[in-house]
Amino acid sequence: MNDASSRSTYDASNYRTPDGAPSDIVIFTIVSKSKEQGKKALPARELQVLLIQRKSWPFEGCWALPGGFCHEDESMESCARRELLEETGVQDVHMEYFNVYSKPGRDPRGWMISHAFVALVEEQQLLGRKAADDAADVRLFPVEAALSMELAFDHSVILRDALGKVRENMLTTTIAKQFLPQEFAISELYQVIQTVVPDFQEQNFIRKITSTKSRKGIIEEVYDERGERKHSNRYSQRAAQLYAFTDYAPRLSIYS
Amino acid sequence: MNDASSRSTYDASNYRTPDGAPSDIVIFTIVSKSKEQGKKALPARELQVLLIQRKSWPFEGCWALPGGFCHEDESMESCARRELLEETGVQDVHMEYFNVYSKPGRDPRGWMISHAFVALVEEQQLLGRKAADDAADVRLFPVEAALSMELAFDHSVILRDALGKVRENMLTTTIAKQFLPQEFAISELYQVIQTVVPDFQEQNFIRKITSTKSRKGIIEEVYDERGERKHSNRYSQRAAQLYAFTDYAPRLSIYS
DNA sequence: GCAATAGTGTCTCTGAGACACTATGAG
DNA sequence: CTCATAGTGTCTCAGAGACACTATTGC
């Protein structure tokens, strides 16, 4: 039966339909692990992912990605945002759709076609929620740990794909801003990139990102009310110039 | 109701489920429009998209993207490949998933969550099929023309998104190879890129892509059996060096 | 002064960009 | 010879990469 004939005789009741269209959300955050309070130093940072522990069949007791079923009156994106809000209390965050997971048999409950999103959330936003909700079944895990766990459904695969996507986007887009305050020091930016993409290394990072003509425009120096360049010594003795992302998004090309 | 409680009481029959999970496939091809047969010149090329004309409700008579409903025993990707084969006779082509379309009301038949793929097909592969199938309801349209048509459902949006995706990928990945023979001249590659991304312009294209160290490895010269560099004068008086894509895929970064 | 991070000087080599030039070969 | 396309010479300037050096400031 080809498409034309199937459509010409279309009647929904003729067909087996999916049993649900869930969204699964991979929520990444970067947590700062400041070693000693007295010391003024860049805190060590770690990429973590939020997982929930399932309370019921299937995969009872297993850790899984948060998510939930799409309603008839919402789009997948709305669904994901709703679930994100319900499960973490977080809204207005960077979220993007990245893949569909539809392998037959991936969900014992039936024919479920799952839609995976990546959300990038500041640590702060999650901490508030986690304090309020003392259920032990939602927790942040270091990504490496989560990757080696056996998650429910095909969530290990989804997590791996999501991590790949975020690593790619970290280098090709300006999503680093999702993990940074509005105004930040170059060293913070560098550290965020390295936290997500461990093998990222640029020896002359400052120069490239500031004094380069081609790159110029991704970030810009921040000035205070008096027109002076704004500095901060949050993380260092010598105060560092603060920068902010601009709206400029360079267009990359392998053909340059 | 939050996710945990909904799962703890899970029963498929409690929920309204989607009425279908179709795939829609945006099939791009580049057609060569050789002006005069006598002349040895690069043929003009044009990016075209394959559309079908619907025979039945809804959107009867409207042009639409090919596609069809997913079966319970296949993944979305399999579904798209099956539909592509059924509707165009084409298989083993480059195809990638790029987005989900789930806005409520997008399909008058019900709650349909559609999954959009882009396929890149060589002109040849489509021509054979189109000759065999003389139904007047499948045709190639120049992209610009298709963009200004009123397509069925939200297919105009899908087409626009697909074009954006292909343009991005044309510059950031080596998908150009999907439109080229195994061995090709630099001018062909350049022309393919320009066909898909009209404002792409590199004055010293040859040098950049060949003699550059950083770029070195995307393509390589082709040698014949005797170890001589292979040339072709298909498109020019002076024979041009032939190249082939390698497996190398450079990693792009805005932080370089 | 020391420690710790911010930021610069300087040198070399490669590549981008521009543009004129030479090379090849069919008609 | 002419023409169209392939490909090179050459010059300038910007940027990468490396590494040592100076700057700032809390303690």
With respect to residue B253, please indicate whether it lies within any of the assigned structural domains.
no
Residue B133 and residue B160 in one domain: yes
A252 within domain boundaries:
no
Q: Is residue A3 part of a domain?
A: no
| Among the listed residues B83, B96, B115, B101, the one whose alpha carbon sits nearest the alpha carbon of residue B28 | B96
Residues 6+ apart with CB under 8 A from A192: A30, A45, A176, A179, A180
Alpha-carbon distances of A226 from A184, A250, B191, rounded to whole Å: 19, 31, 52
User: Distance between CA A14 and CA A26 in Å, rounded?
Assistant: 35
A184 and A167 co-located in one domain: no
Do A196 and A165 have their domain in common? Answer: no
In this predicted structure, the answer to whether residue A98 has a pLDDT above a threshold of 60 is yes
Residue numbers of the domain that contains B236: 175-245
The reply to whether A235 Cβ lies less than 7 angstroms from strand C is: yes
Which residues in range 171-190 of chain A are in contact with strand C, contact meaning CB within 7 A of any of its atoms?
Answer: 185-187
Could you tell me which residue, B99 or A42, shows the higher pLDDT? B99
Which chain A residues are Cβ-neighbours of B193 within 8 angstroms? 255
Say if residue B203's pLDDT is above 90. no
Question: Is the preceding peptide bond at B58 cis, omega within 30 degrees of 0?
Answer: yes
Q: Is A123 a residue whose pLDDT tops 70?
A: yes
Contact B16 A72 (CB under 8 A): yes
Do A129 and A30 have their domain in common?
A: yes
Q: Is the pLDDT of residue B115 over 90?
A: yes
Spatial CA neighbour of A101 closest among A57, A147, A63, A158: A158
Residue at B215 is within a domain: yes
Percent of chain B with pLDDT over 90: 60
B148: CB within 7 A of chain C nucleic strand: no
- What pLDDT is attached to residue A237? 87
Q: Decide which of B137, B172, B207 is a domain's last residue.
A: B172
Is residue A130 scored above 90 in pLDDT?
A: no
Helix (H, G, I), strand (E, B) or coil at B162: helix
CATH value at residue A125: 3.90.79.10
* DSSP conformation class of B92: S
Same domain, A70 and A195: no
Residues B147 and B220 in one domain: no
Determine the 3-state secondary structure of A15 from DSSP.
coil
Angle, to 10 degrees, between the axis of helix B76-88 and the axis of helix B123-132? 60
A134 and A43 in one domain?
yes
Kindly determine whether the C-beta of residue B39 is less than 7 Å away from any atom of nucleic acid strand C: no
Same domain, A125 and A194: no
CA distances from A92 to A82, A116, B126 (A): 11, 18, 45
Q: Are residues A151 and A98 in the same domain?
A: yes
Are A245 and A177 in contact by the 8 Å Cβ rule? The answer is yes
pLDDT value, residue B90: 87
Average pLDDT rounded to a whole number, residues B144-167? 98
Residue A107 CB neighbour total at 10 angstroms: 21
Minimum-distance nucleotide, CA of A231 to C1': C6
Question: How close does chain A come to B75, measured CA to CA in Å?
Answer: 5
pLDDT per position as a tens digit, B124-142: 888 766 654 545 578 999 9
What is the tally of helices (H) and strands (E) in chain B? 7, 11
Which segment of A13-22, B22-31, B88-97, B194-203 scores lowest on mean pLDDT? Answer: A13-22
Checking if the pLDDT of A136 tops 70, the result is no
Residue entry with tokens 């060293």: A187
B254 within some domain = no
Predicted confidence (pLDDT) at residue A176 exceeds the cutoff of 50: yes
Distance of CA B202 to the CA centre of its chain: 23
Of B152, B172, B192, the one marking the end of a domain is B172
Residue B73 DSSP one-character state: T
- pLDDT band at A13; cut points 50, 70, 90: low
Same domain? A83 vs A202: no
A211, two tokens: 């004094």
Q: Whole-angstrom Cα distance, residue A90 to residue A75?
A: 18
The set of strand C positions with any atom below 7 Å of a protein CB reads: 3-9, 14-19, 23-27
**For residues B87 and A34, which has the higher predicted lDDT (pLDDT)?**
B87
Binning pLDDT at 50, 70 and 90, where does residue A134 land?
very low
Band of residue A142 on the pLDDT scale cut at 50, 70, 90: very high
Question: Do the Cβ atoms of A74 and B202 come within 8 Å?
Answer: no
Residue B6 in any domain: the answer is no
Amino acid at B59: F
Q: How confident is the model at residue B232 (pLDDT cuts 50, 70, 90)?
A: very high
The predicted-structure confidence for A26-77, as pLDDT tens digits, reads as follows 999 999 876 544 455 667 889 999 999 988 889 988 999 999 999 999 999 9
pLDDT at A164: 97
Backbone φ and ψ for B235, nearest 5 degrees, come out as -115, 5
Does residue A127 sit in the same domain as residue A42? yes
Look up residue B44 and give its amino acid: A
- A76 closest CB neighbour out of B9, B77, B102: B102
Identify the pLDDT of residue A1: 40
Structural domain ending residue among the three candidates B144, B172, B200: B172
Question: Region B68-80: what's the mean pLDDT?
Answer: 96
Q: Which of A3, A75, A212 sits opposite B67 (nearest CB)?
A: A3
Q: How far apart are CA A159 and CA A141, in angstroms?
A: 12
Cα angle value B164/B165/B168 (rounded, 5°): 85
pLDDT top residue among B214 and A198: A198
Closest residue to B20, CB basis, from A17, A20, A54? A17
Both B46 and B84 in one domain: the answer is yes
Distance from CA of A129 to the nearest CA of B (A): 15
pLDDT at A34: 66
The count of structural domains within chain B is 2
Q: In the structure, how far is the CA atom of residue B230 from the C1' atom of nucleotide C22, in angstroms?
A: 21
Contacts of B55 in chain A (CB under 8 A): 4, 7-8
Predicted local distance difference test score (pLDDT) of residue B172: 93
Q: What is the amino acid identity at position A52?
A: I
Q: How far is B20 from chain A (nearest CA, A)?
A: 5
Tokens encoding B134: 């003389």
Q: Give me the amino acid identity at A233.
A: N
- Maximum average pLDDT range among A5-19, A66-80, A130-144: A66-80
